[in-house]
Every structure is written in structure tokens, then in C-alpha cells.
Amino acid sequence: MTDARITWISGPVLRARTSCKMHVSEAVLVGDSRLLGEVIRVDGDSIVAQIYEDTTGLRLGDGIEATSQPLSIRLRPGLLGNIFDGLLRPLADMPGDTVLPGMREAPPQTFAFEPSREAGQRVAAGAAFGTISLGHVREQCLAPPDTGGVIDSIVAAGEYADDATLCVLRDDEGREHTVTAGQRWPVRRPRPAQRRLPHGEPLVTGQRIIDTLFPVARGSRAMLPGGFGTGKTILQENLAKWCDADIIVYVGCGERGNEMAEVLNEFPGRKDPRSGRPLLERTVIIANTSNMPVAAREASIYTGVTLAEYFRDQGLHVALMADSTTRWAEALREISGRLGELPGEQGFPAYLSSRLAEFYERAANVETLAGTRGSVTIIGAVSPPAGDFSEPVTSQSKRFVRCFWALDRDRAQARFFPAIHPLNSYSEDVEALASWWQAQGNPDWAAQRRRLLTLLGERARLERMARIVGKDALPPRQQLTLFCADFVNEALLRQSAFSPIDRFCSPARQTSLMQAFLHFIERAEQALDEGVELERITALPVYRHLQRAAEDIPEDKIDRFHMLLSRVDDEFDRLTPAESHAR
Ligand SMILES: Nc1ncnc2c1ncn2[C@@H]1O[C@H](COP(=O)(O)OP(=O)(O)OP(=O)(O)O)[C@@H](O)[C@H]1O
Ligand SMILES: [Mg+2]
């Protein structure tokens, strides 16, 4: 059926004259190959659509079919462990790892279904009525968010395809609804939840500079801006690997093909450090390399966040990594440019900020429609050209995130990783998380964190001064501050992604390390005040042990920190002030 005919084509956007009423956001099928597109503007009897596939070969006069549906993806069991393009079309095993033109989604898959409700019982909209197992993965089977009622019939436990009817619900008006395991959802519409909950616990990442200094709460949103080669991808991958989310949605958005290929090749082989199962089993990867159609890249972050919400609705904690939102914004800019829209700052469209807001606002900690708790935490990487944080994507994103992890070029060049700069970064989740740390046995976390940040701030000031007057001209107390701050920076904030012992640091080990360091600093300041010379403090053997503690003391030997603390006390107790020493 032809509802419109193409009158103009420019790359991924086209204009068409239509004979029916189409609406903005409606999905359309274009040309003989039925390429997928979306209406983005309606103007009298003409429409503008963006096409999610390569438009080479389309001709003026080719037909367009309206679908009357907004651009949607089919959420279904069996997504975990797979790799898709920006519209949830499977990539693995495809020729050249790209999707075939017009191919909408994966063929139905079979899975084991186990009902948890029986006929006559009521299932609320969005509530679970059974479980689905596919290999080792178990998922909740939910009624669609807009469909609830009394169960008329429900199938027995057994093997079913994801398009098979699993139950029939009768709503209060007496209408029948058939429910399958797969359900469509428009990617640009947030999935509903019962209510948003306040942030109360962190997404534990195992990275000290994040968990201890700039923590992100479950359901919160963070950004990771950093210039070329500052470690965004490695950090995102490390977070994906180690953070305590149940599910990872990794959106590789417009990165170079070879970089994405590394992620794709590495992920399948990696083990989940917590369960020992392949990491890919708790992961969905959405890949849109820079050589794939630009409009699909624009859709990919919405597809990613819709997927994340789908798992959230099953009562799971999801972390969504987007690498990089700059490439996504560039797709937006390219499409806007072809439409001839009035460009805003650096050519980005004026609606860049509202689109960023729509994306980040979908991060949430919620009570789901099914009555369970789930969350979506968003971590977006940003690649500002030349590392300039005042450019539009960085500065606009900053308005909508709660955590800002600024990657620093100088640190990265000095191979200081993770290169998050402690003075340019912040987290607005600190207050909400203090009670969580208290429950973990560290009521002083917020004060300790402040102490470390003050020390690092002092260091920057004193370094500037030392550059002018020379380090030796600083009074001993300031020299000690510099010494301690360097020590914290090197031994606490530096953490190699490749060290078998230190690539992950549990909150308990983070606390022990921080307490040991702060205890040393406190005793050192005390000793200096009592008249002990600085050289004798910095020459204490325990200092070397502390310096190596993060690398030397593994997770299962945390009690060794007690010994380290007593050693600090012993060595300082033996230090006597200079005059008494001389006597
Ligand atoms: N946490 C880390 N531990 C050790 N080395 C790291 C770490 N992070 C980054 N590196 C080193 O820095 C290099 C660049 O990192 P990465 O590819 O993540 O940067 P990027 O910011 O994603 O770059 P691009 O702007 O090109 O996307 C890596 O190849 C690695 O050698
Ligand atoms: Mg990268």
C-alpha cells in the first residue's frame, strides 16, 4: 500500500507528498526494500522522514507505507547476551555484522515458561504472571504496562515461542487481551512506574575515586567527559564489568568501527566477576559504529534506555552506559543540517538540550508497576573536541546529570588512571548516600571524604606556590600537606584497570584504605606539631607499606588493615620530638 511518494532525498532524510494523514513520530516503511523510517515533520500534505537504513538506491517517486504506530521495538525474552543495532535488530551472525535492509527484528525464539498465576486471578497492568528461562537466564514475564485484568486462561508450564499467546486477560470493561512474552514499546516514550523513589544506595563500581569521592546512586545519572584518549571507553567497560548492577545495557554510539569491534570481541569471552558466568549473559550491547546509518545512531540511545526500563520493570537494577553521547548529538546535528533548520551553538540544533533532558530523565529508582523495586542508572560518556568542556554537548549535559566525572588530559598523559580529576568533578548524590555508608559500618564517610578533598584542594594551591618560591621554602606544615596529598593521589586515587588485585575495590576495602591513610596523616600532623622533623616522618617504613596497600592487600585479607593501623601507631609512638631526641 502506498500512502506517500518521495519528492526529495538528502542522505538519511527525505520529503514526500502524502495522500493520508500521518503524524510526527510515526514509523514508515520506504521503497521496495521497506526501509524503516520515522516521520519527523508534517507540513500540509508533505512529510519529512528520517530513514534508519542506508538510503542508497532510493528514487524519487518511490512509495512510502504508513504504519500508524510510533517507532517501537519489540521487548521480549532472549535479549540478554546479544548484540543489536540502534533499532534492536540483531547484529551477530549477520553478513559483515550489519543488518539486512528492511529487516525489522529477530525471528521468534522459544523459551521455557512457568506460570506464577492461575485462571481467575487478577493481574495488574505491568505485573508478573510467570517466569521465563532461556539457558541460565531467568526473566519475569510481565503484562504490558497498559493492560491488566482477570486471567481468563493461562498456558501450562512448557516451551513456547515469544509470539505465542501465554495468557488471556479480561479487563474491567469485559474486553479480552491476549498477552505474549514479547511486547512492543515506543522507544521515545518512558515506560511507566508506580512511583519514583528517592536515591538511597550507590551503584557500587569498585573504583575508589568514584565510590569514595564522587559516588553515583542507583537510579541517578552521571556523565564522563574527556578528550581524545583520556580513558572513557576503558572506564565504561570497567564499570560494565565490575559495577553491582544486575543488567548492563551498553550503547556503543557512533564510535569508530575498530573500537566497537574490540568491545564486541572482548565482552563475549569475559566472565562476570561476581557470578563467574559469561559477562555477556547480563549484558545487552547496542552497537552503532560511525559507518552505520546516522539516524539509527540517533535512535540508539532511546532504544537502549527503553531496554533498560524493560529490565527495571522486572525488578532489576540496570546500568546503562552510552559511549559516546557526543556522536549521538552529532547525528542529531547532521539530520538537523539536512533539514535546513536554524543552527544553534556550533551547529547543534536548538532542541539539543531538550533531547538530552529527555534521555537523562529516564534514569530513575522506582517502585515498578509489579510492586518491586528497580532502577536505571545512566552513565554517558562525552567526547568534547579538543577536551574543551565549554562546548555545547558537555555544557548542556551537565545541566541534567548529578555526577560529573571529568577526565583530565594531563593525568591521562601521565598514565594516571582512572584520569578523573578530583578537583573538577562532583557528585550531588553524596548526601543521599551517607546513611548507606553508615549502614556499611562507616558513619564517618562523608567527613573523611571532605577531608580528602580539602587535602587535594590544598595541594593544588601549594603546588602553585611552590612553583614560585620553591618547595623547600614552604613551611614544614605545608610541605607535609603536599607530601600527604601526593600520597593520597598516588596510592588511593590511582587504580589500574589491569591489576588483578586492585581493578576492583569493595566498599569495605575502600573504607579500610581511607581510614589507614587518614590515620597516618593525622599522626603525621600531630608529630610535626610536637616538634618531630619532617624528614623523619616521611622516612617511616610504614609509609612504604601504605603506599603499596591497595596493590598488596586483597579483598579476602582486609583484616590486615588492622595490623597496618597498629603499625602506624607503633612507629609514630617511637618518634620522639627533636629536642628530646637530641638530649
Ligand atoms: N583505567 C585504566 N587503566 C589503565 N590504562 C588505561 C585506563 N584507562 C585508559 N587506559 C589507557 O588509555 C588508552 C586510551 O583509553 P580509551 O580508549 O578508553 O580512551 P577514550 O577516551 O575512550 O578515547 P577516544 O576518545 O579515542 O574514544 C587505553 O588504550 C589504555 O592504554
Ligand atoms: Mg573511546
Concatenate the DSSP letters of all residues of 320-341 into one string: EEEETHHHHHHHHHHHHHHTTP
Question: What is the widest separation between alpha-carbon atoms in the chain?
Answer: 103
Domain 4-72 sits in CATH at 2.40.30.20
Looking at domain 195-428, its CATH class is alpha beta
Ligand 1 mean position, distance from CA 414 (Å):
12
Q: Residue 31: what pLDDT?
A: 92
Distances 388 to 227, 329, 351, 394, 422 between C-alpha atoms, Å: 8, 16, 21, 8, 18
Ligand 1 contact, 208 CB (< 6 A): no
What integer pLDDT is reported at residue 401 of this predicted model? 98
User: What pLDDT is recorded for position 103?
Assistant: 53
Q: What is the pLDDT at residue 527?
A: 95
With a cut of 50, list the residues of the chain below it in pLDDT.
Answer: 93-97, 582-583
550 contacts 513 by C-beta, under 8 angstroms = yes
> Ligand 2: distance of its center to the CA of 408 in Å?
14
90 lines ligand 1 (CB under 6 A): no
Q: What pLDDT is recorded for position 568?
A: 96
Instruction: Give 445-582's CATH code, choosing from 3.10.690.10, 1.25.40.10, 1.10.1140.10, 3.40.190.10.
Output: 1.10.1140.10
Ligand 1 binding pocket includes 67 (Cβ within 6 Å): no
Which ligand number lies closest to the CA of residue 496? 1
Q: Which CATH number fits domain 106-182: 3.60.70.12, 3.40.190.10, 2.60.40.1930, 2.40.50.100?
A: 2.40.50.100
Q: How far is the CA of 73 from the centre of ligand 2 (A)?
A: 27
**pLDDT at position 255:** 66
DSSP string, 487-511: HHIIIII---TT-TTTSS--HHHHH
Looking at residue 270, the DSSP 8-state letter turns out to be: P
Domain ranges of the chain: 4-72, 106-182, 195-428, 445-582
CA of 51 to the centre of ligand 2 (A): 26
**Single-letter amino acid, residue 365:** N
Q: Name the pairing type of β-strands 83-84 and 283-288.
A: parallel
Cβ–ligand 1 distance for 494 under 6 Å, the answer no
